[in-house]
Chains A and B, each alone.
With several copies, the nearest count.
Chain A
Amino acid sequence: MIPTPDTDIRPDVEARAALEAIIMVTDEPADPRLLAQLVEIAPERVDALCEDLAAEYASEGRGFELVKVAGGWRFQSRAEMSPYVERFVLSGQSARLSSAALETLAIVAYKQPISRAQVASIRGVNVDGVMRTLQQRGYIAELARDPGPGQAVLFGTTSAFLEKLGLNGLDELPALGEFVPSPEVVEALENGLRFDAMEDVDMSAAPADIDVDIDVDIEIILEDSEEFVVDLRTSSISLDALDVLADDE
């Protein structure tokens, strides 16, 4: 039973048992290359043997499974058994992700490496808090710095993110193309933003005395860098007028 140093002549039976023994004591997914080194077999054989084992456990109806997650092999409880496993208070189960966190994660996952400002621009909101939380939980990490001026920190997803989603790699994420809005949605949005004249508009609803030459200038003044004042200064329309306009609907 003492391991012999010759490479890859180890019989399947022993290699399989050795893999089971090692993976049983790893507390994160075991890299096939490391396993290959330890068991002295080729990395491809590690994967093949683990796949065999996984199939065996499944056919035997075991309560656990062997899966490849975040690039490594690990034991985990089988999904069907979750009612039993969940009865038991587990540590390390992190809170469910908010929709803000999920959207931010989706952007980072598909667009990495990406800066905080770029994420904010896509989401249209400040993402500092969400990004900080995701970083603390270990789902995203600083990957690099933008070589350009400003040297913004660029973020990417981590293996903890892959584990959270039960993925082996980012390539298992559905292609972004699958999420491109359907023609119906595009049409709905286009309609929503239509500004050409509508024939059926009842013009009597519009206040008669509003100057239509609208020209909204926006001026933002930061006073004392604390007080935030917005001046919606317009040549011929004021906020009051807008209210009138809106109220008239």
Chain B
Amino acid sequence: SQCYGIRMAVAVQTPVFEGPFDLLLHLILQEQVELYEVSLTTIIDAFLIEIERMDHLDLEVTTEFLLIAATLVELKARRLLPGLDDGDLDDELALWDERDLLLARLLEAKTFKDAATVLARLAASAAHRVARRVGPDERYVDLTPDALEGISAEQLRRAFIRATTPKEIPRIDLYHVAPVRASVLDAMAELIAELPGAGKVTFRDLTAALVEKLEIVVRFLAVLELYKQGQIELDQPARFGDIEICWIGSEQEASAELVDAYEG
């Protein structure tokens, strides 16, 4: 007898199938093919991949895969080699049973798959309506001095998880209402206000309070512009190290003129 470690062999691209039923439904319904035409290695590969993908082995589910695979092997073998029945009625009936069971389960899986598409439709339609979740305003704050009454640490944990769970990707382009509108001009004006008299400052310090990556990029461009105008000196002692910035322009000049120079 031979042993096959499951880990072998399976470097094929993971298909999008969610398990054996998903795969079979796809093969039979979407592809409109009969099992006879389906390469057995394809099925077995797909099954092995599915098993491989499982986070940890669930013996029950894995067995499921293998049983289905075995049934398919038998069905397929029968169909490839017709007319060679040895006439064992018990075997024949057992195979029918297996097949009926598999069919019933495929139908059930298909039923819920279709139900899921309706749920998806409902969820999509509900997503167009946003609930008001605002709560009493500050006029009512004094009525309940202890707002944490009845709140458990566990609820707090759940609130944290809720707040940090990936958010839905907005479907509409946000650029024209982008919350951040960083402009190089504004950044220059800020630097002109901050730098004179501040001595040697690192770029890291200059951007430590910034939240948006865009803001940091824009501030960097502003630094370069000021450098170009000869208002600041830049030094970077180490490769990829901190950039040191020092104001060398006159303080009087530190005004809108520089900004104008950029615009021009």
A and B interact physically: yes
User: Which A positions have Cβ atoms within 8 angstroms of B?
Assistant: 24-29, 34, 37-38, 64-65, 67, 69, 74-79, 82-83, 85-107, 109-110, 115, 117-118, 120-126, 128-129, 133, 136-139, 146-152, 161, 163-167, 172-174, 176, 179-182, 184-186, 188-198, 200-203, 205-207, 210-216, 218, 220-223, 227-234, 237-239, 242-243, 245-247, 249
- Given the interface contacts A97-B148, A125-B18, does A192 sit within 8 Å of B211 by beta carbon? yes
For the A-B complex with A192-B208, A246-B40 known, give 18 more contacts whose Cβ atoms are closer than 8 Å: A27-B132, A77-B130, A92-B162, A97-B135, A100-B135, A101-B135, A102-B156, A103-B116, A120-B58, A121-B211, A165-B152, A185-B29, A193-B216, A207-B183, A210-B221, A211-B225, A229-B3, A243-B41
CB neighbours (8 Å) of A28 from chain B are 133
Top 4 nearest A-B pairs (CB, nearest first) are A150-B209, A148-B208, A197-B82, A166-B126
Q: Looking at the assembled complex, report how far the CB atom of B82 sits from the nearest CB atom of chain A, in whole angstroms.
A: 3
Q: Looking at the assembled complex, report how far the CB atom of B174 sits from the nearest CB atom of chain A, in whole angstroms.
A: 4
- Given the interface contacts A96-B151, A195-B79, A231-B239, does A249 sit within 8 Å of B37 by beta carbon? yes
Q: Are A128 and B131 in contact (CB under 8 A)?
A: no
For A174, give its contact among B95, B153, B169, B218 (CB under 8 Å): B153
CB neighbours (8 Å) of B207 from chain A are 148, 228
Q: Are B81 and A210 in contact (CB under 8 A)?
A: yes
- B252 an interface residue at 8 Å Cβ cutoff? no
Complex-state Cα separation, A129 to B213, whole angstroms: 25
- Given the interface contacts A125-B61, A174-B154, does A198 sit within 8 Å of B212 by beta carbon? yes
- A28: nearest chain-B partner, CB-CB: B133
Q: Are A148 and B157 in contact (CB under 8 A)?
A: no
Complex-state Cα separation, A115 to B211, whole angstroms: 10
Q: Are A123 and B73 in contact (CB under 8 A)?
A: no
Q: Are A222 and B59 in contact (CB under 8 A)?
A: yes
17 A-B residue contacts at CB 8 Å? A25-B140, A27-B132, A64-B132, A76-B130, A82-B128, A94-B162, A96-B123, A101-B135, A103-B160, A166-B126, A182-B164, A185-B110, A195-B76, A197-B174, A206-B218, A207-B185, A242-B41
Q: Are B64 and A201 in contact (CB under 8 A)?
A: no
- Given the interface contacts A89-B144, A231-B4, A232-B4, does A164 sit within 8 Å of B123 by beta carbon? yes
Complex-state Cα separation, A137 to B86, whole angstroms: 56
Q: Are A200 and B175 in contact (CB under 8 A)?
A: yes
- Given the interface contacts A77-B129, A176-B160, A233-B236, does A164 sit within 8 Å of B148 by beta carbon? yes
CB neighbours (8 Å) of B257 from chain A are none
How many residues of chain B have a CB within 8 Å of chain A? Answer: 167
Q: Looking at the assembled complex, report how far the CB atom of B216 sits from the nearest CB atom of chain A, in whole angstroms.
A: 6
Q: Are B221 and A206 in contact (CB under 8 A)?
A: yes
CB neighbours (8 Å) of B210 from chain A are 150, 192
- Given the interface contacts A37-B177, A124-B21, does A246 sit within 8 Å of B172 by beta carbon? no
CB neighbours (8 Å) of B181 from chain A are 205
Where chain A touches its partner, the secondary structure class is mixed
- B32 an interface residue at 8 Å Cβ cutoff? yes
- B200 an interface residue at 8 Å Cβ cutoff? no
Q: Are B131 and A76 in contact (CB under 8 A)?
A: yes
Complex-state Cα separation, A148 to B208, whole angstroms: 5
The total number of A-B Cβ pairs within 8 Å is 541
CB neighbours (8 Å) of B70 from chain A are 216, 218
Q: Are A109 and B156 in contact (CB under 8 A)?
A: yes
Complex-state Cα separation, A106 to B179, whole angstroms: 24
Q: Looking at the assembled complex, report how far the CB atom of B118 sits from the nearest CB atom of chain A, in whole angstroms.
A: 6
- Given the interface contacts A87-B172, A89-B136, A214-B74, does A173 sit within 8 Å of B213 by beta carbon? no
For B107, give its contact among A77, A189, A207, A239 (CB under 8 Å): A189
- B103 an interface residue at 8 Å Cβ cutoff? yes
Q: Are A165 and B174 in contact (CB under 8 A)?
A: no
CB neighbours (8 Å) of A179 from chain B are 111-112, 114-115, 118, 161
Complex-state Cα separation, A130 to B146, whole angstroms: 16
CB neighbours (8 Å) of A192 from chain B are 24, 27-29, 33-35, 208, 210-211
CB neighbours (8 Å) of B106 from chain A are 189, 193
Q: Are B135 and A106 in contact (CB under 8 A)?
A: no
For A94, give its contact among B34, B51, B165, B217 (CB under 8 Å): B165
Complex-state Cα separation, A165 to B131, whole angstroms: 12
Q: Are A122 and B74 in contact (CB under 8 A)?
A: no
Q: Are B171 and A122 in contact (CB under 8 A)?
A: no
- Given the interface contacts A75-B132, A176-B160, A194-B211, does A216 sit within 8 Å of B6 by beta carbon? no
